[in-house]
Chains A and B, each alone.
Chain A
């Protein structure tokens, strides 16, 4: 009996591990920046090229940093959701326009709607490197002390908003 049972158990253990492996997404690399201070940046604004936004000015409020670009197809998926979220007025969304051209970026926002309190221009992607950006879109939840509390890689979905991002914002604001 044991002769057949042991290999069967070993096989089932293997199946469980492989099953877990299949459901993991290798693209979602956990960020080492979680619970660390958000990298400070001073960047020109998209719509006011002569004005600078300093990330430190956002201390004292919970805010979202959404990395986007007009060349990014997946950004179009999440964009209607971001527009809706901004209309709810729960949390300010700041846009990091990543490696994009100013004119096309502004045109893109005109076409799909502008959910951003302010968008800043990271033309050569240096601030992106500081934030560990490797796939656009990415969304960071940053708390009142300027600490990154959550990073969402890929397009924001209704599920991720309802299950993770919105409850976290509520908790951080409370």
Chain B
């Protein structure tokens, strides 16, 4: 998600927060005196449909503010998309039909879950291919190193020299 650095506004917001706190203080006094509590109304006419809208649009990319979903974005584009999706849902279109509608107009890029096809082959299998080639390279390297270590083993004359040295040390110990 995109975060905005608010530091430059800190001075303003401090004053503003103080002011808002004061207002809340006044308001809370006024409202406790006369509490007309009311059940919170659902903001949408049809909460079920709205739930479906959100779950669908969480997987759709807002093309204006890329990396935000259509569910969370406040861009005009996303408002329009949500309106379009809502209307299509009211017209009893299935999720698959709505996604097809959007992909036909905006391409696979609207989907956060890219479809599996020839152009997305690398996207799906790239990491796996990289992993396998990495393991293969490691195995190749280790095998080569083992043969190198064997190559470095002692020649006959060196072994003889080493053995006499060890014997000499053993004798000293005795």
Q: What residues make up the interface of A, taking CB atoms closer than 8 Å to B?
A: 26-27, 29-33, 99, 124-126, 128-132, 134-135
Contact = CB atoms under 8 A, between A and B. Distances in A.
A134 B77 CA distance: 7
B84 interface: yes
Residue from B76, B84, B107, B108 with most neighbouring chain A CB atoms (10 Å): B107
B63 to A, nearest CB: 4
B80 interface: yes
A13 B31 CA distance: 67
Contact of B84 (A27, A129, A132): A129
B147 to A, nearest CB: 16
A128 B64 CA distance: 14
5 contacts: A27-B66, A29-B107, A30-B109, A132-B105, A134-B64
Classify the secondary structure of B's interface with A.
Answer: helix
A29 B105 contact: no
Given A99-B76, A129-B80, A134-B77, A30 B64 contact: no
A39 to B, nearest CB: 8
Nearest to B110: A29
Nearest to B137: A6
Nearest to B108: A32
Given A131-B105, A134-B64, 6 more contacts: A30-B109, A31-B106, A32-B105, A33-B105, A125-B80, A132-B106
Interface in B65-81: 66, 76-77, 80-81
A131 B63 CA distance: 14
A30 to B, nearest CB: 6
A135 B64 contact: yes
B103 interface: yes
Nearest to B109: A29
A125 to B, nearest CB: 5
A129 B105 contact: yes
B107 A32 contact: yes
A29 B108 CA distance: 10
Contact of A31 (B64, B81, B84, B107): B107
B104 interface: yes
